[in-house]
Structure 1
């Protein structure tokens, strides 16, 4: 029952999480690192159990929109984090956060949290890995950008970043929703305007997915029509981080995935094949893997995806 309630709250935060925070609602999810369902107190001293399991290699798993850390649980009860702990000695931590907030807000908060983590960890951190599913990959990239502007201690420790079904070039479904809302609002009819107002209540985090906004400058001060425009500011890929991208494809057919990707994110967006008009740095394609017959949610909990993550982690950084 507890996990079910947490999942419901995760969905609610994804849809109207910015409103919940603005109004001080108790259902707002506060950003924190958790392990085994319990918060890890990085703002102070680690508790004894956490100290006993601390290692110099840390992996942080960042879930996507309307999810919780439960998204990572595979049918056998394990997660990518627990398997990396068993197989390669990583200390797994899971981010819990309000996915309805702006991606840049969550990125800035994750940056501050990771800085607290490396300062509070009872074992000096030597290697940090981020694994982001869907929006979680964008939040990770936003945190890296925030850290690069602040000279954070954790950033040089970040050796690898994994993006699973992450819409690096934006999500077509959200762009379609923005277009419909814009069109309905301009029809001189009170009912269509009401529908437009209701649809427009969706959170800032959801709206950011349209063009994969990573920085505050991408959305601050923008008018209602800005959702139809790509206002993204560049966020370069830092050379010391090895970027690994895994994309899902609905079928093994060579052509259908080009149009539909994993049913939520297009193949081009998930593999970061950017061109100049995308206003995004293109990702190197040597660390891209396309998983046939794998939908968007399965990317967070599939044994074959884990096997690829492990294989990349075993390569020299």
Structure 2
């Protein structure tokens, strides 16, 4: 008789009552949103417009309009009932898990601005943590060398650990740094997160248990933009006096082509009134994602604009902070970091030129010297978190 195969353990994703309440709200919002899309398509078909051109304005009238209004009203009523039900469930004090943290971070990356704007309990509140706990509770033996790590889009502070390696913990072991990790809602605008980060750094440096000898910020991907935004918005804040070095890993300083591709899809769907309602689904992506189109850092880069249809890179120049040493690490999936293929391939998400701060406009180019730059070949965007040559360079730069 053939023995039964060993059971394959399933990844645990224990959600809390507040998470289920948040998912319930998000589900209601999704049903209402899809209803709006279907109603718009119904109205377009009934209006019989041309194949190309704008979609007809307004909503269906008569019985058809009444049906759609009823669906929306019923959905919202059911949603309020479910919300009240989950609100009555006792507060869950069980510890979170890495799987749950990753799930919530991914939701925030895609819909984080919507979660925050609607008061959804799934929205991440910005904080500084160590090991997933408030840093004040988790500090062991703090030193004067303070290192703050800022994660990327749809990620969280626990995901700095990859294949058993964490740049922050390794630098603590080898160079005596005290690593602290920013945890934030990556779906909000970069400038909103930058402002919140700048305020937290004031509190961190002022309340650090020992005198701060130096402050170093290490940002991965979108986290690098948040760090630059914090430096710009917090230029006059006390913590800037302690900031000695900035390090960016795969940061899209001048944007990422995938977000531009999303805008092109939106534009293509908008060409026909019959497809235009579907463009609403693509526009559901977060402000954090649309900021990646060109690498927005300031409020002025996105305010008073339709962020889904912006086609010109008209960002206000945001220079690197004076007197702060800056280091850039980029990756290319090509076997060699030179040549046209290596330059265009990038790390799969961010082109080499963007990660290295290169731009045809002198006002936007970062002009970081070659000795402060590293290009890693045969590597993707996430390999920058654990590749040995990256860590060796970090250790050399921050010694």
| Same fold? TM cut 0.5 | yes
* Counterpart position of 1:134: 221
CA distance in 2 between partners of 1:273 and 1:82 (Å): 31
SS at match of 1:144: helix
Q: Can you list the C-alpha shifts for 1:128-168, whole angstroms capped at 9, x where unaligned?
A: 011100000000000000111xx111112111111100011
Q: Distance in 2 between matches of 1:213 and 1:225?
A: 13
User: Aligned ranges for residues 268-279 of structure 1 at < 5 Å?
Assistant: 268-276=353-361, 279=364
Instruction: Please give the alpha-carbon distance, in whole angstroms, between the structure 1 residues aligned to 2:390 and 2:142.
Output: 25
The answer on whether the counterparts of 1:182 and 1:225 sit within 8 Å (CA) in structure 2 is: no
**Partner residue in 1 for 2:46:** none
Deviations 1:197-221 (A, max 9, x none): 0010100010000000000000011
Distance 1:204 1:13 in 2: 11
Q: Decide whether aligned partners of structure 1 residues 274 and 137 sit closer, same or farther in structure 2, where only a CA change above 3 A counts.
A: same
Is residue 34 of structure 1 aligned with residue 129 of structure 2?
Answer: yes
Question: In 1, are the aligned partners of 2:187 and 2:289 still within 8 Å (CA)?
Answer: yes
For residues 164-203 of structure 1, the aligned pairs below 5 Å read 164-189=249-274, 192-203=275-286
RMSD between aligned residues: 1.6
Query: 2:145 aligns to what?
Result: 57
Name the CA distance, whole Å, in 1 between partners of 2:362 and 2:319. 15
Larger radius of gyration: 2
- Do residues 252 (structure 1) and 335 (structure 2) align? yes
The question of 1:223 aligning with 2:306 is answered: yes
Q: Higher RCO, 1 or 2 (CA under 8 Å, sep at least 6)?
A: 1
Matched, 1:243 2:326: yes
Deviating 4+ runs (over 6 angstroms): none
Give the C-alpha shift of residue 278 in structure 1: 7.6
Task: Report the CA distance shift for 1:24/1:58 in structure 2 as closer, same or farther (over 3 A).
Answer: same
Counterpart residue number, 1:114: 201
Instruction: Summarize deviations over 1:225-259 as a string: whole Å, max 9, x none.
Output: 75212121011122311110000110223332211
CA distance in 1 between partners of 2:256 and 2:196 (Å): 23
* Alpha-carbon spacing, 1:224–1:266, altered in 2? closer, same or farther (3 Å): closer
Mapped contact 2:131–2:158 kept (Cα < 8 A): no
Indicate conservation of the 8 Å contact 1:130/1:161, yes or no.
yes
Please give the residue correspondences for 1:273-288 in structure 2 after superposition, counting only pairs within 5 Å: 273-276=358-361, 279-288=364-373
Runs of 5+ unmatched residues, structure 1: 41-45
Mapped partners of 1:102, 1:109: distance in 2: 11
* Separation in 2, partners of 1:280, 1:252: 26
Counterpart pick for 1:14 among 109, 112, 137: 109
Structure 2, unaligned stretches of length 5 or more?
A: 1-11, 13-96
Using the TM superposition, give the Cα deviation of residue 304 of structure 1 relative to its aligned residue in structure 2, in angstroms: 2.0
Change (3 A) 1:184 1:226: closer
- More deviation, 8-17/254-263: 254-263
Pairwise CA distance, 1:283 = 3.0
Query: Where does residue 5 of structure 1 map in the other structure?
Result: 100
Checking the alignment, whether the CA contact within 8 Å between 1:101 and 1:205 is kept in structure 2 is yes
